[in-house]
């Protein structure tokens, strides 16, 4: 296992960003009375968009798991592969960035069925980022940056999320701009010259307009030696920017 060391930087003019987040698994036949009982017990409210609108997870009549962005940052969950350790029912396999696939509770489309045998086959688990559907799960091979929360919706939510959700859906929400100036930066180093830099900044432009920009860059030497060409294989080199 690679050893990684993370160094955090926060500008003094931009206080470190902290968003209260909860990682919970909610499997319920949620009713109004159950939600009221939970409120009486003083449980924190977790807002989800499992039904295309913001509401308390206790009121959603479906099996779902919610992982907050704060836990994703603290657990150093840098990509979807790492997310599988926080959501036991989720499995992610990737032979390469094109051959990727999700399964939920063992259901979905395997890598062989989706990519290697026929690129035209649709996945069985929908992948959504800010309510936008990503038809090819290869987009999930990139590293996370500035995530608010991740929702895993188990079961076929096809009425709300379309036909490609026979096993469920992954609904990822990124952090929204804020009117309070804040920023964050992180640099990590590991084996095989692994280097990852990521950060984000947010603040007001006017009284009614705010901005947010985030980015992540990851590189690593190959872990396989090609004896014929003398070059490393299976290297990593990805960059992403969002504004």
Cβ atoms 207, 221 nearer than 8 A: no
Task: Please report how many Cα atoms fall inside a 13 Å half-sphere around the Cα of residue 36, on the Cβ side.
Answer: 3
Q: Which has the closest alpha carbon to 62: 163, 168, 170, 150?
A: 168
What mean pLDDT comes out for the span 198-225? 95
SS (H, E, C) 153-201: EECCCHHHHCCCCCCEEEEEEECCCCCCCEEEEEEEEEHHHEEEEEEEE
Question: pLDDT for 153-210, tens place per residue?
Answer: 998 887 788 888 889 999 999 999 999 999 999 999 999 999 999 999 999 999 999 9
Give the C-alpha separation, 65 to 89, whole Å. Answer: 9
Q: What pTM does this model have?
A: 0.74
DSSP 3-state assignment of 26?
strand
Structure confidence at residue 215 (pLDDT): 95
């Amino acid at each position: 296992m690679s050893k990684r060391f993370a160094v955090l930087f926060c500008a003094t003019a931009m206080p470190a960003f902290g968003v209260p987040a909860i990682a919970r698994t909610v499997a319920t036949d949620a009713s109004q009375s159950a939600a009221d009982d939970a409120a009486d017990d003083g449980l924190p409210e977790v807002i989800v968009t499992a039904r295309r609108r913001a509401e308390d997870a206790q009121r959603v009549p479906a099996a779902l798991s919610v992982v907050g962005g704060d836990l994703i940052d603290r657990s150093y969950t840098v990509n979807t592969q790492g997310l599988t350790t926080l959501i036991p029912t989720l499995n992610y396999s990737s032979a390469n960035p094109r051959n990727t696939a999700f399964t939920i509770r063992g259901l979905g489309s395997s890598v062989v069925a989706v990519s290697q045998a026929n690129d035209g086959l649709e996945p069985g688990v929908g992948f959504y980022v800010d309510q936008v559907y990503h038809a090819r799960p290869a987009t999930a091979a990139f590293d996370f940056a500035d995530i608010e929360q991740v929702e895993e919706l188990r079961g076929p939510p096809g009425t709300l999320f379309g036909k490609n959700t026979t096993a469920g859906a992954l609904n990822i929400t990124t952090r929204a701009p804020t009117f309070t100036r804040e920023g964050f930066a992180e640099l990590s180093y590991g084996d095989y010259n692994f280097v990852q830099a990521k950060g984000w900044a947010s603040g007001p432009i006017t009284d009614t307009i705010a901005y947010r920009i985030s980015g992540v860059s990851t590189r690593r030497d190959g872990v396989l030696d090609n004896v014929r060409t003398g070059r490393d294989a299976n290297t990593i080199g990805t960059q992403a920017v969002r504004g």
